Amino acid sequence: MTVTIRPCRPDDAETLVIMIRELATYEHLEDFARAAPEALRSHLFGSRPFAEALIAESEGQPAGFALFFGTYSTFRGQPGLYLEDIYVREELRGLGIGTALLSAVAKVALERGCGRLEWSVLDWNKPALDFYRGHGARPLDDWTVYRIDDEALTRLAKSAPGQS
């Protein structure tokens, strides 16, 4: 089996959305998967890209993806990368595609002078937890991820000084 990893292109947006929905189904989060091809084209390839993606192909067919973006550590005084999602199609798992994607993102991080690569994992996803630990990742048990979105985000933004 031949696996290639390449940067995502604008014409991959539809395929990327399909795989994002597959990932959402696997994670039991289908109701939250709202990404559309047009949004991905704008956010990945527009005048101010917010993220990047790599596509894994097996025998010329889409096999998975990794989507990541830059971060910055004030304590380290150094950039980092945040791996938003990594996904390998179910029928292709266990063939080294996930490792190829993760190592490709790690290579990008090092090429850019990043000091770390971080991501979040659902607590119940034992295969993912085992996969990441097998590559030397460690959980940050002292940290809790917080999120604010939708109406709460709008409400908070409206309370910013100089906003109405």
Q: What angle do CA 73, 74, 78 make, to 5 degrees?
A: 50
Known catalytic membership, residue 82: no
**Residue 58 in contact with residue 97, Cβ under 8 Å?**
yes
Distance of CA 48 to the CA centre of its chain: 18
Q: Which of 26, 82, 87, 132 is catalytic?
A: 132
65's tokens: 């993806």
Task: Give me the active site residues, please.
Answer: 132
